[in-house]
A and B are shown apart, each in its own frame.
Chain A
Amino acid sequence: MSRSSVSLTVQTMGSHADRLPDETLLAGLGAGDADLAVAFVRRFQRVVYGVALTVTRDPVTAEDVAQQAFEQAWRHAQVYDSRRGSVRAWLTTIAHNLAIDVLRARTSAPVDPADLPTLLTAVTDTPERLAVARDSAAELRRALAQLPGAQARAVAMAGIYGMTARQIAVTEGIPLGTAKTRIRDGMLKLRAALLPEDVDDE
């Protein structure tokens, strides 16, 4: 990522930064520009903290994870490649990975299955304030809402809480093969819901 684009925007202050594209704020963060860095944090803190809190379910841990995520972004800003996805997606992945690491280090179970219905509802609902959701997000929500409950739980446990098929099998009291099949079939259905979108975007 070019640093020259950052030097032009270093003079930008305050509210002007709000209008800059994500990539520019990220470049500024990477270059240590305080104005752009704070704008970057403000822009993405709810996304990052939201992921951390959903996965770790503890506000103190979630804050630590969220801080680490921004630190990673700062440290590796130059590595971000817009061809591979949005800054939001990149940050989300970083935060998610850090949160999963916390879960794995815990001795307790990654998630209480009783919490899954609430999570799945939160994930599949489309509040009006999130009307900015892209079509593909709406398609994915719909597909997730339509998955058989067992597959939705398996996909959420694996995809959101980083649980292996083995862990899911133990948690759900099912054979390992059944857990693997639920993950596979659930993800195939979700992929199918996004496929036309993918083809168009590529």
Chain B
Amino acid sequence: MSELNSMSCAEFHDSAAELALGVLTGRERAEALAHLDHCEACREHVRQLTATGEQMLGLLPTAEPPAGFETRVMDRLGLTAPAPKPLRHRKKRPAWGHGFSPRRVLAAAAVVVAVIGAALGGWGLHAATAPAESSTLRAGTLVAASDHDHVGQVFVYNGETRWMYMSVDLESGNDTVICQLVGADGHITTVGSFRLADGYGSWGSPAWTGDGVPVGARLVSANGTVLATATISATT
């Protein structure tokens, strides 16, 4: 990713707010993140903007949910009306794949928030910088097979919990694509599929099967063509 290290602080500042609000995408975003990698001053700037954005969300009006909402939530969690339970009933974890947007680095997973937010103010869902436990967060850039353009990012977290997240920013397209992880032994695991919207798309999964941490990822079209690959390595 050395070619992405060329952004100056002044250039970064032009897009800092967009990054903090999670609306910076594609190459601009990759370059901005690369700049943050080695610029504490700009990281602090983004922290403050992120905190500002989150405080703005705190101004949104509240609203009474429809009647019975609370009961439906409790049913969804498998928590019945107050009664002592020695065991916790957990539903099988589904993968989250309903067309998440790439506006955020990571799927709406709170575990991701805490890890990525370590270097940012507030919950820092919108930008990824040096995480608290860097050895457990690994990342890679998706490189297109056709023209070697950077078309997305992959994040893999292997800590107390495990998750992976892939965000894609192609020129166009509304096709269904497949996300795969590549293990150190070369074994390829299909994690899930998602549909692109105008070239954008993302996929997050709360776990992956198999031992070890993935060393790579692939973006594959529905007919099996490998669109892009990424090498996943430890973040600094």
Contacts and interface: CB of A to CB of B under 8 A. Distances in A.
Interface of A: 10, 13, 31-32, 34-35, 37-38, 41-42, 45-47, 49-51, 53-55, 59, 62-63, 66-68, 70-77, 79-81, 84-85, 88-90, 92-94, 96-98, 100-101, 103-105, 107, 122-124, 136-137, 140-141, 144, 155, 158-160, 162-165, 180-181, 183-184, 186-188, 190-191, 194-195, 198
Contact of B123 (A38, A85, A187): A85
A101 B56 contact: no
Given A32-B79, A79-B114, A187-B21, A194 B52 contact: yes
Contacts of B84: 10
A90 B48 contact: no
A162 B103 contact: yes
B98 interface: yes
Contacts, number: 229
A62 B45 CA distance: 33
B57 A160 contact: yes
B109 A72 contact: yes
B51 A180 contact: no
A90 B23 contact: no
A92 B99 contact: no
B198 to A, nearest CB: 10
Nearest to B206: A75
Contacts of A63: 65-66, 69, 72
Interface stretch (B12-20, B133-141, B221-229): B12-20
Given A38-B70, A79-B114, A84 B123 contact: yes
Nearest to B200: A104
Contacts of A162: 21-23, 101, 103
Contact of B18 (A59, A165, A195): A165
Which of A55, A124, A140 is packed against the most chain B CB atoms within 10 Å?
Answer: A140
Given A38-B70, A89-B58, A96-B57, A105 B98 contact: yes
